[in-house]
Amino acid sequence: MTYLLKVSTSFDAGHRLLGYGGKCASPHGHTYGVELRLAGTSVDDIGMVVDFSDMKRALRNWISENWDHAFLVNSDDVVLLKALGTITEGRIFIFDHQNPTTENLAKALFLGMKAKFGSIVSAVEIRETSRQSVVFRGEH
């Protein structure tokens, strides 16, 4: 038997896709939706796998520290990095030689949450719009 837990939040960020042939090659932003999913087979003395408050806090803190109201940038995008460097209030999160695609966001957040909660992290979903999302799952 397995308990499946999930919490959701959202954040705002900008990005562009280096080398892409469509509209996403242009800097733009999204209000991303996020869902963290944990799976556990046992509960503690009061009947919880993990306290929802701890899940929400960890998720919100990680996103706030890294992505919320930041520009998500491929480290190879030297033109955009130079332009963003002229904005003193700007926040930048750099993806090492990777585009800030929804797929790469989902994997990065999964790894961040796995560092906090360990192997009970079962999946992370990132919604770029209300009509499209990516789920990244760990292998069990």
Question: How far is the C-alpha of 99 from the C-alpha of 108, rounded, in Å?
Answer: 12
Count of structural domains within the chain: 1
Q: Quick one: pLDDT band at residue 103, thresholds 50, 70, 90?
A: very high
21-47 residue pLDDT tens: 999 999 999 999 999 999 999 999 999
Q: Domain of residue 109: give its range.
A: 3-137
115-132 residue pLDDT tens: 999 999 999 999 999 999
What CATH number did the domain enclosing 38 receive? 3.30.479.10
Across the strands, what pairs with 24? none
**What confidence score (pLDDT) does residue 90 get?**
87
